[in-house]
Copies of this chain bind each other. A is one copy, B any other.
Amino acid sequence: MALVPLGDRILVKRSDNDEQTTSGGIIIPDTAKEKPQEGEVVAVGSGRLLDSGDRQPVDVGVGDLILFAKYGGTEVTYDNTEYLILREDDILAKVN
């Protein structure tokens, strides 16, 4: 993947949310005020910069299935595929 997120950001390919149940078995309730979204991690940045100048690696890896807040991130299309660039802090959970 040529798109390398910067710092504490990650690149995510959204799961297809039309079916009620997502690939990770999560039902996204239409009623829920803020429907969390599901997607797969495609690339991760070098991690968050700490006061000391060290980088704190991102807590998820490429291939992880994750749940994230609906309204975070920036959309981008690359090689005709839609991705989302998120901050690590937008991630709610990993779906093992």
B-side contacts of A9, CB under 8 Å: 92-93
Can you add 17 more A-B contacts, CB < 8 Å, to A28-B76, A43-B93? A3-B94, A6-B66, A6-B94, A7-B89, A9-B92, A25-B78, A26-B77, A29-B75, A32-B75, A32-B76, A34-B74, A34-B75, A36-B74, A50-B53, A67-B76, A74-B92, A85-B92
B-side contacts of A76, CB under 8 Å: 26, 28-29, 32, 36, 67, 92-93
Residues of A within 8 A of B (CB): 2-7, 9, 11, 24-29, 32-34, 36, 43, 45-46, 48-54, 56, 59-60, 66-67, 69, 74-80, 82, 85, 88-89, 91-96
